[in-house]
Amino acid sequence: MRQSTLLLVAVAVMACVGGAFADSAYILASKSILNNYLVENMDITIQYSLFNIGEGAASSIQLLDYFPQEGFNIVAGSTSAKWDHLAAGANVTHLVVVRPLSHGRYNFTFGQVSYLETADASDPVVALTSAPGVQQIYPFNDYDRQYASHILQWAVFAVATAVLVGGPAFLYLGSRAKYVAVAAEEKNRKQR
Ligand SMILES: *[C@@H]1O[C@H](CO)[C@@H](O)[C@H](O)[C@H]1NC(C)=O
Ligand SMILES: *[C@@H]1O[C@H](CO)[C@@H](O)[C@H](O)[C@H]1NC(C)=O
């Protein structure tokens, strides 16, 4: 009898502890670069995604990142963001557009996220986002030479393709129209 009472108490305590964990938020955060090519003096879009994989809502969420002023201009958005609330299973994203002032290799490090994992938590949890890592930022002149001339090449290619594909198609459509007209005339004549 006494043993089973103890067991019940133990189970109840475990349920309480489990319950406390089950109600707390747990945020996974990623930081990613949306551009395929990173080029000096051209916009780079950085996306932060926060996903609450916990069982409870997070509150007082703060995202904080940093780009050295001597290396980057902030073109749009901000390197920090705040949200009051992030429900369990919910996502939020944040974008910032930066422009690198020079070329070369740059280590894109992690941002920082802090939040309260339960409504009555007093100390915030501090987590790190993923980090894109070392990336090559190309000189603007290289980019200009390679891609501007490609745009011209693509335009020439597009015109050439239009003539090659479009030419026979026009001929076909033209002769088909003539054929249809002749057939219709024939039909009219027969009906009269
Ligand atoms: C939140 O993001 C994750 C990972 O990208 C995704 O699997 C999940 O479906 C998203 N949830 C909602 C509610 O959009
Ligand atoms: C990039 O920065 C991170 C964070 O500071 C560091 O851990 C990592 O070693 C750096 N990578 C390189 C290749 O320097």
Q: How distant, in Å, are the alpha carbons of 21, 67, 145, 161 from that of 37? A: 43, 18, 14, 28
Find all residues with CB under 8 Å of 132, minimum gap 6, and list them.
Answer: 31, 32, 33, 108
Out of 28, 91, 94, mutate this one to test ligand 1's pocket (max ligand atoms within 8 Å of CB): namely 91
pTM of the model: 0.70
Structure confidence at residue 188 as a pLDDT band (50, 70, 90): confident
pLDDT value, residue 157: 73
- 50, pLDDT greater than 50: yes
What is d(CA 79, CA 65) in angstroms, rounded to the nearest whole number? 5
Q: So what's the pLDDT on residue 143? A: 76
Of 107, 129, 135, the residue with max ligand 2 atoms within 8 A of its CB, to mutate for a pocket test, comes to: 107
pLDDT-derived band at 59, boundaries 50, 70, 90: very high
pLDDT reported for residue 131? 97
